[in-house]
Amino acid sequence: MPRGYGIADTKNWTDFKVYDFELKKETDDDVDIAITHCGVCGSDVHTISGGWGPLNHDFCIPGHEIIGIATKVGKNVKDIKVGDRVGVGAQVEIFYRTAFDTISIFFPFLRHPIVDSCGTCVPCKDDEEQYCQGDESTKKGLVDTYNAEHFCGTKAMGGYSTHIRTQQQFVFPIPEKIKSEHAAPMLCGGLTLFSPLIRNGAGPGKRVGIVGIGGLGHFGVMFAAALGAEVVAISHSPRKKEDALKMGAKQFVSTAEKPNWAEEYKKKPFDLIINTASSNAVDLVSIMSTLKVHGRLICVGMPEDEFKVRIQNFAGNGCLMGSSHIGSKKEALQMLALAAEKNIQPWVEVIPMKDCSKAVKRVEDNDIRYRFVLVQDIERH
């Protein structure tokens, strides 16, 4: 039986215990994976600490930056075979309705769910399944990797564990050139930055600002530089300067040392800024003022509280502000290909999975440069 390190009480969110759990009901579209590595994401901390709301089950096994070996594949699975090294990110299942199921809308007794790719809503048709709006007849949509429930009713558990069973849509072959400890954090943290970069035109001739040089921001610097953009790293802490320049930034700004930094950068404004900070203390008004006319600010850090911006703050340069949610499978494969081609290596600290308690606490304390990766150490039954 699969086992993993989980949390049962958000008030004691570093008190991990080993729990046995069941995999979801097997389908012909699933891949069974023996987990070898799992990244530690800021989302894990927000979830197990209750920052994003209560746990949905008696216990939660977090982790959605998963690397492992495929041990079994369903008969409908394409591009993955037993023995392949594969990865799984923040989503594991989506409702799919075939033509047969469409008929069953009118004849409900014929209805049966098949999970693969929605294929019915606009985002899914546009290869943006991470924004799936769900099947209209069943109201089923995406299933997150953990703290969620599979369509069959089984509780979804994440990657601080021995095994996972995942729909093929959300299983990614890992290029041979990328080490497992480097691939793992790309599957959420990396993709969360790669997607808005390519969707918003980061590349040669573009000037890109990355706000917050932490676990997410360091991916932003590396990927934006690899795409050919001129990158400026913007951080409160001056201690990140040397790191940011090594990662590919052309310039570094410490907002603590230069509180009026925006006045200088208005003279050479940004095409795109990605804000990775998960704090409400970020001065969004100053950041927005450094954008070109109709430039874009994309926020991917997710504070637990709200922040306020006046509409007037957008008017001076007609800038746009939005967000982004992870990335699609198409983008994930593009990201992995780029990482293999450019030899992009995240800055990671690799530790045994049993030390997950220490890892989440250090992530909360911003005491990591720049991502943790847990290595499997649970004895399999």
Extract the tokens encoding 292: 């070109």
pLDDT at 129: 87
Give me the residues of the chain with pLDDT under 50, please. Answer: 97-117
Rounding to the nearest 10 degrees, give the CA dihedral for residues 197, 198, 200, 202. Answer: 70
Residue closest to 195 by CA, chosen among 287, 303, 300: 300
CB neighbours (10 Å) of residue 323?
12
Residue closest to 68 by CA, chosen among 84, 90, 44, 80: 84
CA dist 210 and 282 (Å) reads 13
pLDDT at 281: 82
Q: Which residues pair with 171 in a beta bridge?
A: 88
pLDDT at 132: 87
Contact 25, 151 (CB under 8 A): no
**Angle formed by the axes of helices 191-199 and 215-226, to 10°?**
40
> Residue length, the chain?
381
Whether the CA torsion 10, 37, 344, 229 is positive or negative: it is negative
Where does 164-254 have alpha helices with state H?
180-185, 191-199, 215-226, 241-247
Please report, for residues 9, 43, 54, 61, 367, the alpha-carbon distance to residue 50 in angstroms, rounded to integers and kept in the order given: 9, 11, 5, 14, 20
Extract the tokens encoding 22: 């069941």
Amino acid of residue 78: K
At a CB cut-off of 8 Å and minimum separation 6, what does 263 contact?
Answer: none
Residue closest to 287 by CA, chosen among 325, 240, 255, 241: 255
pLDDT at 72: 99
Extract the tokens encoding 256: 């603590």
Residue-wise pLDDT for 123-180, tens only, equals 888 889 898 888 766 667 889 999 999 989 999 999 999 999 999 999 999 999 999 9
pLDDT at 116: 41
Residue-wise pLDDT for 178-215, tens only, equals 999 999 999 999 999 999 999 999 999 999 999 999 99
Residue 178: exposed, middle, or buried by beta-carbon count in 10 A (0-12, 13-18, 19+)?
buried
All domains in the chain, ordered by first residue? 3-187+328-375 (3.90.180.10), 190-323 (3.40.50.720)
Residue whose token pair is 């990775």: 276
